[in-house]
Amino acid sequence: MKRPFPLGVAAAVAGATLLVWQPNPVWSAPVKTGFAERDISPAIGMERPGGYGKGFHQKFHDPCKARAAVFDDGERTVALVGLDALLIREPQVAEARRRIHEKTGISPEAVLIGASHSHSSGPTGMVLPGEFDHADDLVKDLAYEQSSAADPVYLETMIAGIVDAVAEAHQSRQELRLGFGRGEESKVSFNRRWRMKGGLSFTHPRYGNPEMIEPAGPIDPEVGVIGAWDAEGQLKGCVVNFACHATTSPPGISANFPWGIEKVIRGTFGEKVVVVFLNGASGDVTQVDNASPVKQTVGADAAMQVGGSVGAEAVKVMLGLKPRLTTEARIDVRRQVLEIPRRKPSPERLERCRELVKAKPTDAAALNDWIWAKEIVLLQAMIDQEPVRQVEVQAVQVGPAVFVTNPAEYFCEFGLQQKKASPFPFTWPVSLANGCVGYVPTTEALGPKGGGYETRLTSYSNLVPEAGDLIRDAGIALTRELTPGPVPAGEKVPPFTGGWQYGDVPPELK
């Protein structure tokens, strides 16, 4: 009989709701693993997410998917879901987890759902149906008619796809041989924020800007990989982790650059391989090189350049893992819910913004001001309902690897700090997981020498400056509650019995 996840006691700790877990005993047993996917592509004509206004899909490029991996060590079971979506909000996470538990018995807290942040995917936000029903008519119009909004029909498509993918992965689980590894791809991602001569940091200062000094943050070139092979040596599925905004945007509905990752991996190992992509801490990292002296590729070419490069590195890693596979791995999970306040606009700014949004913008400059005024008005309506956000942090262990989640467009520096402090051989942050709280910059970015697009106060991004530190520290603490499993070492070579007789000779000159 499986041991249930110990729910423990809820305790208030530094403004957070902490789930106090019982210790997990040392456990090493054969793992059953399953993979599955579902097509969750939106329909032509549905909203295209990713902006502060409305846009609509007019073409189809490649399918958006919900891809799932399930790992079961006989004691505990976890599900990892890679979602081709801009984001997933907390109500949809809760509903998907509820249905998954009903169908499979997997505990809700053991389900990780990470959105890839594809800007060419389906309408999952920004505004949810009914979210602003408590507000006045002006705010309702701004939210539902003037902003990017989720489609209730599509939300059900997405949730059903997640649930069905996890259920099939759970049903199909079998003893597969697992391999864990990392590669490096450092030429396709760039920090998009730059320190400027004027003292501030700007987002995308644009090519050739003479005021640029240096990038204002790092990138994370690590390509994290878990591969799973059957007894015949066939790769059944893999999990890939890499940090980069999914903003390459092929023309039309698309998984974005994860399409390229899948294309390369399947081209090597077979068309039935399920590729679960989980985006790393990529809040300030994109494919755009602002210092490039030449024009860069865009659209489908950019998606293939980024995804193909990451996929090729994942292929290299997996080819090297074949001698070092295991059927045993400890499965475990920890979860913590933080309570983090929102930043609040001043009453004077709010009044100015309410007046501004009542007028229709007449030119581009007026439209720009109108958009940010709209965001302040919407933010205040959200604060009226929810001044403090519930922010879930999760650590999911698969053997020597741990996935550390945050529901943010989380700055890359935080992810690197979590990797450095984690006791695990492989630590892979997962951003925009299990909810969405918008951009979470560093305190430096929100300080006097910071700035940039990500630090704007909007209905999307509004947590207090210390939010990133709180999320980082919670993730690190959760990893330290877990016991890392060993990295598979492979079969040792036989004892030395003498050299190769054809090769142990001196040079012959005659």
Q: What is the pLDDT of residues 116-161, one digit of tens each?
A: 999 999 999 999 999 999 999 999 999 999 999 999 999 999 999 9
> How many domains does the chain contain in total?
1
Band of residue 50 on the pLDDT scale cut at 50, 70, 90: confident
User: Would you state the pLDDT for residue 151?
Assistant: 98
In whole angstroms, give the CA distance from residue 151 to residue 158.
Answer: 10
Residue 417 has pLDDT above 80, yes or no: yes
Tell whether pTM > 0.85.
yes
Residue 24 has pLDDT above 50, yes or no: no
- 406 domain-assigned: no
Across the range 488-510, mean pLDDT stands at: 88
Kind of pairing between the strands at 77-83 and 111-115: parallel
In whole angstroms, give the CA distance from residue 362 to residue 205.
Answer: 26
In whole angstroms, give the CA distance from residue 178 to residue 317.
Answer: 13
Q: Is the Cβ–Cβ distance between 199 and 208 less than 8 Å?
A: no
User: Would you state the pLDDT for residue 28?
Assistant: 58
Q: Which residues contact 55 (CB under 8 A, 6 or more apart)?
A: 47, 48, 148
User: Would you state the pLDDT for residue 360?
Assistant: 83
pLDDT digits (tens, 9 = 90+) for 318-329: 999 999 999 999
Across the range 197-224, mean pLDDT stands at: 96
User: Would you state the pLDDT for residue 264?
Assistant: 98
User: Would you state the pLDDT for residue 23?
Assistant: 44
Q: Is the Cβ–Cβ distance between 68 and 81 less than 8 Å?
A: yes
Token pair, residue 406, equals 């945050």
Mean pLDDT of the chain: 94
- 153 domain-assigned: yes
Quick one: what percent of the chain has pLDDT higher than 70?
95
* Of 96, 146, 153, the residue nearest 126 (C-alpha): 146
Contacts 24+ apart (CB under 8 A), 416-419: 416/218, 416/220, 416/281, 417/472, 417/476, 418/281, 418/472, 418/475, 418/476, 418/479, 419/220, 419/222
Band of residue 20 on the pLDDT scale cut at 50, 70, 90: very low
Domain that holds residue 227: 29-323
Residue 11 has pLDDT above 90, yes or no: no
Question: Which residues of 197-349 form beta strands (DSSP E)?
Answer: 201-203, 212-215, 222-229, 235-242, 274-279, 285-286, 331-341
In whole angstroms, give the CA distance from residue 55 to residue 58.
Answer: 10
- 376 domain-assigned: no
Residue 2 has pLDDT above 80, yes or no: no
- 75 domain-assigned: yes
Between 95 and 363, the higher pLDDT residue: 95
Q: Please confirm whether the linkage preceding 126 is cis (ω < 30° from 0).
A: yes
- 14 domain-assigned: no
Across the range 226-251, mean pLDDT stands at: 97
Residue 237 has pLDDT above 60, yes or no: yes
DSSP assignment of 62-77: S--EEEEEEEE-SS-E
For 210, 325, 365, 469, the CA distances from 155, given in Å and listed in that order, are 45, 38, 34, 32
- 156 domain-assigned: yes
* Of 226, 230, 312, the residue nearest 276 (C-alpha): 226
For 91, 111, 118, 178, the CA distances from 476, given in Å and listed in that order, are 26, 19, 27, 25
- 452 domain-assigned: no
Q: Is the Cβ–Cβ distance between 340 and 470 less than 8 Å?
A: yes
Band of residue 500 on the pLDDT scale cut at 50, 70, 90: confident
Band of residue 486 on the pLDDT scale cut at 50, 70, 90: very high
Residue 17 has pLDDT above 70, yes or no: no
- 399 domain-assigned: no
Three-state DSSP at 167 gives helix
Residue 13 has pLDDT above 80, yes or no: no
Residue 429 has pLDDT above 80, yes or no: yes
Residue 162 has pLDDT above 90, yes or no: yes
Strand 111-115: give its sheet, edge to edge.
111-115, 77-83, 65-72, 32-39, 174-175
The 3-class secondary structure across 333-387, one letter per residue, is EEEEEEEEEECCCCHHHHHHHHHHHCCCCCCHHHHHHHHHHHHHHHHHHHHHHCC
Across the range 419-444, mean pLDDT stands at: 98
